[in-house]
Amino acid sequence: MDNDDFDRADRQAGVMVRESPVAAELSMVPHPSGAVPANVVALRDQLVRQYHAGAPSLIKRLRDAGKRDIESLLVALIDEVVKETDNLLGNGLIALENGNLRDSTIISFKRTEALEKAIKAVQAKQEFERTGGLDIDSPAMVTVFKFFMMKAKQAFEHMGVDAEMNDLFFRTFSDVTEEWKKELREEFEVMKV
C-alpha cells in the first residue's frame, strides 16, 4: 500500500484528512521542473546517510562491510527487511496508541507483506543450498582454496619434500586447475542429475 491506498481508505471511510503543514508549504514552493525542492532532497539524503552510519545507501554500506558475495548479500538484505518490519511495528503501535485504528491496520498489513517476502527469501536461500548452490565466486570459496593449498605445502614440508619438488607440484597444480571454477560447476551439474 502506498499513499494512494491510505487516501483511498480514507475516502471509503468518509474521513477528511488535512494535508500536513510541511507538505502544504512545500507544495507551494515554485519549482520549474516540478521536482521536490532541493532542501527536502538534501534532508532525505542526510537522513539516509545517518541511518546507514555514514554510507549514502544500503548497497554501499553492505559493500563497505565486505558483503559482496551472493550469500552474505542475501543474508544482509533479509536482515534489513526484518529490521524494517520492526519499524513498521513501531509505527503501527504509535498509530494505535493515537487512536488511528485504520492506519494501524494498514501498517500491520504492510508489515505482514514484508515478513512474507522475508520468509520467501529465506525459503529460496534454503532451496538454493539444498540443490547444491555453492557460490564458487564468493570470497569464502577463495579462502577455502587457499587453506587447502597451505595445508598441502605444510604436508610437503612435514614429509621433507625438497623445495624444487614443492615448486614443481604447485606449478603443475596451477596449470591443471586453471579452469577450476568451470570444471567445478560442471561437477555440480552432474551431481544434480
Cell of 138: 564468493
Task: Look at residue 141 in the predicted model and tell me its pLDDT.
Answer: 79
pTM attached to this predicted model: 0.48
Task: Look at residue 1 in the predicted model and tell me its pLDDT.
Answer: 47
Element (H, E) at 149: helix 139-159
CA distance 107 to 93: 9
Q: How far does Cα 79 stand from its chain's mean position?
A: 7
Task: Look at residue 110 in the predicted model and tell me its pLDDT.
Answer: 94
Helix/strand/coil (H/E/C) assignment for every residue in 25-84? HHHCCCCCCCCCCHHHHHHHHHHHHHHCCCCCCHHHHHHHCCCCCHHHHHHHHHHHHHHH
| Per-domain residue ranges of the chain | 1-51, 66-130, 139-192
Q: pLDDT tens across 54-98, in order?
A: 999 888 888 888 887 777 788 888 888 889 999 999 999 999 999
Q: pLDDT tens across 147-191, in order?
A: 999 999 999 999 999 989 989 999 999 899 888 888 887 887 776
